[in-house]
Amino acid sequence: IVVTGSDDHRWKMWALPDGNIIMTGEGHTDWLSGCCFYPSGTQLVTSSGDTTVRIWDFSKHGCILTLEGHAHTVWDCSWHSCGDFVASASTDNTSKIWDVNSERCKYTMCGHKDSVNSIEFLPFSNTVLTSSADKTLSLWDAR
């Protein structure tokens, strides 16, 4: 399976090797910047220039949750291995940890002096790694 973004703010999921479109997601109002599969493969999280993070459910064929709180473009997103948390990285110089169950931001991580360009959970831990345009990497404890 391959997920791609397009100029019309939609993403498409393609089956390999036949190349058939499995699903198309519509809802972001600006370009797509990142995506990550849910650990069990039943959902997808996407980030966008529209400042939002969206969670998509494959069985429902659509967006089930929109997370809002960043002031600028969201560059990247990542699922925690337990599936209960999503992380996001933004050009507003912050990154956020979102609790999917409560549908709220649990933590906002401040400290980078420039855009946070990527974010990733260390598998099976509470450690988050961010990279920034300020030429630094940061390790965060998300507890």
- Asked if residue 97 is part of any domain, the answer here is yes
> Which tokens sit at 136?
């630094």
Q: How confident is the model at residue 28 (pLDDT cuts 50, 70, 90)?
A: confident
> For the chain, what is the domain count?
1
> Which tokens sit at 137?
């990497």
Average pLDDT, the chain: 89
- Asked if residue 81 is part of any domain, the answer here is yes
- Asked if residue 17 is part of any domain, the answer here is no
- Asked if residue 4 is part of any domain, the answer here is no
Q: How confident is the model at residue 41 (pLDDT cuts 50, 70, 90)?
A: confident
CB-CB contact of 139 with 127 (8 Å):
yes
pLDDT for position 85: 96
- Asked if residue 23 is part of any domain, the answer here is no
- Asked if residue 45 is part of any domain, the answer here is yes
CATH number assigned to the domain comprising residue 81? 2.130.10.10
Distance from the first to the final alpha carbon of the chain: 33
Q: What is the pTM of this model?
A: 0.87
- Summarize the confidence of residues 100-115 as an average pLDDT: 97
- Asked if residue 106 is part of any domain, the answer here is yes
Handedness of CA 31, 80, 103, 95 (dihedral sign): negative
Query: Please, is 63 exposed, middle or buried when counting C-beta atoms within 10 Å of its C-beta (0-12, 13-18, 19+)?
Result: middle
The domain in which residue 93 lies consists of: 29-141
